[in-house]
A and B are shown apart, each in its own frame.
Chain A
Amino acid sequence: MKEITMVQAICDGLRLALESDSRVLILGEDVGKNGGVFRATDGLWEKFGDERVIDTPLAESGIVGTSIGLTVNGFRPIAEVQFMGFIYPAVEQIVSHAARLRTRTQGAYPASLVVRIPYGGGIRAPELHCDSTESLFVHVPGLKVVTPSTPREAKGLLLAAVQDPDPVLFLEPMQLYRSIKEEVPEGWFEIPIGQARKVLDGEDITLISWGTMVPVAEKAAREWEKKGVFCDLIDLRSLSPLDEETIIASAKKTGRVVIVHEAPRTLGLGAELTALINEHAFLYLEAPVARVTGYDVPVPMFALEDDFRPDVQRVSESIRQVVSF
């Protein structure tokens, strides 16, 4: 097995998808000749041609809207929205159509498509390139929302998304595109959507995170490990549907929970997780569920991005408070 980066793993997954199913198309801005602004589609246009790896006009509503039309007429589009901050023109198509088509056609015409979306901060990108608005979409019934935190996870989840009968938003943490290398199996493998991953096993406190914040939570957990506090670290991977079983079992086991996400606090996914834990594990809790999140402010330009995003220190401090409650 080769050690590769997340962006290479995604590219490899896309290549396999194109190879194995002639209905698969890739479409988006700069995904063809340029190989994607992050090189996630590098080499695919050369290999599969202009009719399968398609540079579209600059129009997100057009990209997702036509993808929906393609799904009902024989294709499986994997659309790319260049950055999460630019998904808003496509929200109409995603929310009013992709998410509801199965219901509205009573199962006849499901919108089986994948939308890949780089998201989150941490790379000093220009203004408005760093949104982490996953909970807008988790809130919408009918959509699936997943996000990997390692190269292997990225490939496995992507291939599961391509096979999934429902619309899947595949969120790619830009900060992790090239920061980690990992051995990734070469052939086709899938990581089932809806299953969380245990990153660390511990008895003392549950840490729940996803995407960009998994490495941050892991560092904090390692620090506490040295002091004899062992974290049960869960990488959700699948934000919708949630792996309720894993979350609840861990909360019951440790009785203490810290949730870490990059998005602003109010109505971030942490709120839903807290409610879930309260509903199912309240009597097991030794402390209120804590959240370490972005603040309730517009995602700042990069000069203040480190102050906005949760860091190891904030996670660590929250663990301290919850453990000593």
Chain B
Amino acid sequence: MIEQLRRDCIRHLSPDGTLTETGKEIWNRLDRDRKKNFFQWMTLVRHFDRRMILLQRQGRIGTYAPLEGQEAAQVGSALALQRKDWIFPSYREHGVAMIAGMPLSQILLYWMGRVEGCKAPEGVRIFPPSVPIATQIPHAVGAAWGFKLKKEDGVAVAYFGDGATSEGDFHEACNFAGVFQVPVILFCQNNGYAISVPFSRQSASKTVAEKAKSYDFPGIRVDGNDVLAVYDVMLQAIERARARKGPTLIEAVTYRKGPHTTADDATRYRPQAEVNEWVHQKDPLLRYTRLLKNEGLLTGKEEKEWEQTCKEKLDLAIIEAEKFPPAPPEHLFAHVYGNLPSNERKQRQELVQKRDRV
């Protein structure tokens, strides 16, 4: 079913909340819980994001990378995965991390500058956010390769942005994926910009998806603000990978509504009309909420109740993160080596003595 599509973008749910013919088929295959799940997660992710921006303004967390606008791309793709699969995110995949099983308080800790927030709970197969662009993509290929060598049916996913496709690591990873035919999904959220640089300046290719052609695996372009389309495309890519048919590159076309990070001023480089269009006409959550309401699966009251639940979950997570005991200075040495060498033990001692003098 997955074909090499060039510039057309798969979409099953229009911005006005109506389904296409294929959309209806997909919709009818989904159970009620799943249908509600998309809404619940996207709402939680959005509330999380907005709250993080407030916390940043209040000085309670550091610089933060917002994702509003990219909820469908993250939720739709992550919900298609299973616990056995491996995830290698960048720094903007808070939604993916939550769905993978990363506690909200851990994600918060990370943005509070605490390395403890990098650690996933037992059994949650997600790497810490990868800050150097594109460097996580080869990891995903390696993890997928591991599944293949062990003859297991897990898949690995790398999440990255459009800017990442310019780095050598992206191309090396694609090449390995193609040569070794590993069960990897290269999931690009093309949000139009790498900080200030538009995709048209990033690449002479018109799309990210078509880059897959040179590595001889499918590249699919999907409307990243259509949660159903993202989910369906991701399911197909996963199925392909589990069936040992090799890698897939997915380009989810989306938009970050806000700045690159809380330290960025996006008005310097993005036309307001463009922002308005994405914010007001193409919003992923609004689109899906319309569908749910039209289908009689969500009432205004239920919507409000769920928003309240999200708020409570976030309140709790914030309390938990903020009361997480501060790490003592010597925590710097805590996990540098399996066994701390003696010269490092001396340095740690020096640090402890300094702390005790204060």
Are B166's CB and A57's CB within 8 A? yes
Q: Contacts of A126 on B, CB cut-off 8 Å?
A: 62-63, 65, 91, 131, 261
Q: Contacts of B131 on A, CB cut-off 8 Å?
A: 85, 126-129
Q: How large is the interface on B (under 10, 10 to 19, 20 to 34, 35 or more residues)?
A: 35 or more
Interface residues in B322-358 by Cβ distance below 8 A to A read: 326-327, 329, 331-333, 336, 343-344, 347-348, 351, 354-355, 358
Q: Contacts of B354 on A, CB cut-off 8 Å?
A: 313-314, 317
Are B132's CB and A307's CB within 8 A? no
Is B113's CB within 8 Å of the partner chain A?
yes
- Chain B, residue nearest A266 (CB): B343
Is A298's CB within 8 Å of the partner chain B?
yes
Are A301's CB and B114's CB within 8 A? yes
Is A153's CB within 8 Å of the partner chain B?
no
Is A165's CB within 8 Å of the partner chain B?
no
Interface residues in A20-77 by Cβ distance below 8 A to B read: 29-30, 32-35, 37, 55, 57-59, 61-62
Known: A34-B196, A58-B202, A303-B326. A295 touches B129 (CB 8 A): no
Is B153's CB within 8 Å of the partner chain A?
no
Shortest distance between the CB of A35 and any CB in chain B (Å) = 7
Are B351's CB and A307's CB within 8 A? yes
Q: Contacts of A86 on B, CB cut-off 8 Å?
A: 132-133
- CB within 8 A of A58: which of B194, B264, B269? B194
Interface residues in A271-325 by Cβ distance below 8 A to B read: 295-298, 300-305, 307-308, 313-314, 317
Is B20's CB within 8 Å of the partner chain A?
no
Are B332's CB and A303's CB within 8 A? no
Are A124's CB and B62's CB within 8 A? yes
Give complex CA distance A59, B169 in Å: 10
Give complex CA distance A37, B265 in Å: 9
Is A185's CB within 8 Å of the partner chain B?
no
Known: A57-B201, A265-B347, A295-B351. A303 touches B268 (CB 8 A): no
Are B332's CB and A304's CB within 8 A? yes
Is B163's CB within 8 Å of the partner chain A?
yes
- Chain B, residue nearest A295 (CB): B347
Is A125's CB within 8 Å of the partner chain B?
yes
Are A55's CB and B63's CB within 8 A? no
Shortest distance between the CB of A301 and any CB in chain B (Å) = 5
Give complex CA distance A59, B344 in Å: 35
Q: Contacts of B166 on A, CB cut-off 8 Å?
A: 57-59, 62
- Chain A, residue nearest B347 (CB): A295
Output the residue of B65, B168, B203, B264 with the most chain A CB within 10 A: B168
Is B25's CB within 8 Å of the partner chain A?
no
Known: A300-B115, A307-B332. A33 touches B268 (CB 8 A): yes
Are A61's CB and B168's CB within 8 A? yes
Shortest distance between the CB of B302 and any CB in chain A (Å) = 37
Are A37's CB and B195's CB within 8 A? yes
Shortest distance between the CB of B168 and any CB in chain A (Å) = 6
- Chain A, residue nearest B263 (CB): A37
Are B115's CB and A58's CB within 8 A? no
Give complex CA distance A251, B167 in Å: 46
- Chain A, residue nearest B59 (CB): A124
Shortest distance between the CB of B208 and any CB in chain A (Å) = 13
Is B164's CB within 8 Å of the partner chain A?
yes
Give complex CA distance A126, B130 in Å: 11
- Chain A, residue nearest B171 (CB): A59
Are A29's CB and B194's CB within 8 A? yes
Q: Contacts of A297 on B, CB cut-off 8 Å?
A: 332-333, 336, 344
Is A89's CB within 8 Å of the partner chain B?
yes
Q: Contacts of B195 on A, CB cut-off 8 Å?
A: 29-30, 34, 37
Is A88's CB within 8 Å of the partner chain B?
yes
Are A58's CB and B197's CB within 8 A? yes
- Chain B, residue nearest A33 (CB): B269
Shortest distance between the CB of A53 and any CB in chain B (Å) = 13
Shortest distance between the CB of B115 and any CB in chain A (Å) = 5
Give complex CA distance A182, B291 in Å: 60
Q: Contacts of A61 on B, CB cut-off 8 Å?
A: 168
Give complex CA distance A126, B326 in Å: 18
- Chain A, residue nearest B65 (CB): A126
- Chain A, residue nearest B132 (CB): A86
- CB within 8 A of A295: which of B65, B201, B333? B333
- Chain A, residue nearest B354 (CB): A314
- Chain A, residue nearest B268 (CB): A34
Give complex CA distance A34, B347 in Å: 42
Output the residue of B131, B333, B358 with the most chain A CB within 10 A: B131
Are A30's CB and B197's CB within 8 A? yes
Output the residue of B268, B332, B351 with the most chain A CB within 10 A: B332
Q: Contacts of B351 on A, CB cut-off 8 Å?
A: 295, 307
- CB within 8 A of A128: which of B132, B168, B197, B203? B132
Give complex CA distance A317, B356 in Å: 14
Q: Contacts of B137 on A, CB cut-off 8 Å?
A: none
- CB within 8 A of A302: which of B62, B203, B336, B348? B62
Q: Contacts of A265 on B, CB cut-off 8 Å?
A: 347
Is B112's CB within 8 Å of the partner chain A?
yes
Are A301's CB and B196's CB within 8 A? no
Known: A58-B163, A85-B132. A303 touches B197 (CB 8 A): no
Interface residues in B102-133 by Cβ distance below 8 A to A read: 110, 112-115, 129, 131-133
Which 7 pairs across A and B sit closest by C-beta, in order of nearness? A34-B196, A302-B113, A307-B329, A57-B166, A303-B113, A58-B163, A128-B131
The residues of A with any CB-CB pair to B shorter than 8 Å are 29-30, 32-35, 37, 55, 57-59, 61-62, 85-86, 88-89, 124-129, 265-266, 295-298, 300-305, 307-308, 313-314, 317
Q: What 6 new A-B contacts, CB under 8 Å, besides A58-B166, A127-B131?
A: A58-B194, A85-B132, A86-B132, A296-B336, A300-B115, A307-B351
Sample (18) of A-B pairs whose CB atoms are under 8 Å apart = A57-B166, A57-B201, A57-B202, A57-B203, A58-B202, A126-B62, A126-B63, A127-B115, A127-B129, A295-B344, A296-B343, A296-B347, A297-B336, A298-B336, A303-B114, A303-B326, A304-B115, A307-B351
The residues of B with any CB-CB pair to A shorter than 8 Å are 62-63, 65, 91, 110, 112-115, 129, 131-133, 163-164, 166-169, 194-197, 201-203, 261, 263-264, 268-269, 326-327, 329, 331-333, 336, 343-344, 347-348, 351, 354-355, 358
